[in-house]
Chain A
Amino acid sequence: DSGVTQTPKHLITATGQRVTLRCSPRSGDLSVYWYQQSLDQGLQFLIQYYNGEERAKGNILERFSAQQFPDLHSELNLSSLELGDSALYFCASSVSQGPWEQYFGPGTRLTVT
């Protein structure tokens, strides 16, 4: 158990819908990262927040957005869902100082039908 929690574990929704994935980092970690894992694209970095502010951006679609709240938990919002958005979404967290080792949560499996 990494100490990072994610809810829900599974999510099934229809195309065109909007969902919110939630992540709570390890105690004391200021950075939260979001990743998408699919058979087609592999593991892709989406976005990083550090102490409430966006710090790094990867291949995140415009339909997706994220935020980190004052209590450091983070949410990833996915809208206008398409079949291709079906994937495993991981959240990870790390401490503010090096070596920036990231600890991954259990993931949310999203199925878009």
Chain B
Amino acid sequence: ELKVEQNPLFLSMQEGKNYTIYCNYSTTSDRLYWYRQDPGKSLESLFVLLSNGAVKQEGRLMASLDTKARLSTLHITAAVHDLSATYFCAVDMGTGTASKLTFGTGTRLQVTL
């Protein structure tokens, strides 16, 4: 059974600081996604990573995928308060048009002044 572990579970960081969220998974996959969820809201797609070595950047967020290490990272640069949210990674074990996402536990990020 696929296990997806995120750490840390909770992250409190000051504005302007950098930090990395880690997503480890137990079974080989080359489809990994990052989502953001604000309290009481739906999930917003941030990144789609589809191959070993994939790196995507959007604003202050950068995601990478190492399929050999079964590890994805979400790096936050110079955090701002608006980034406060819960971040989920999800690993897809589907093939072709089938998709079966297994989500990590989520990392709750709180950015303080």
Contact = CB atoms under 8 A, between A and B. Distances in A.
Contacts of A43: 43, 88, 90, 103, 106
A13 interface: no
Interface residues of A, number: 27
Given A42-B106, A56-B94, A107-B42, A102 B101 contact: yes
B15 interface: no
A86 interface: no
Contacts, number: 65
A96 B97 contact: yes
B49 to A, nearest CB: 9
Residue of B41, B92, B100 with most chain A CB atoms under a 10 A cut-off: B100
Contact of B42 (A2, A96, A100): A2
A53 to B, nearest CB: 10
B48 interface: yes
A48 B92 CA distance: 13
25 contacts: A2-B44, A31-B97, A33-B99, A42-B105, A43-B103, A43-B106, A45-B102, A48-B94, A48-B98, A48-B99, A50-B97, A56-B99, A58-B100, A94-B99, A99-B50, A100-B92, A100-B94, A102-B33, A102-B45, A102-B101, A103-B45, A104-B42, A104-B43, A104-B45, A106-B41
Q: Which 5 A-B pairs have the closest CB atoms?
A: A43-B103, A56-B98, A104-B43, A99-B48, A104-B42
Interface of A: 2, 31, 33, 35, 42-45, 48, 50, 55-56, 58, 90, 92, 94, 96, 98-107
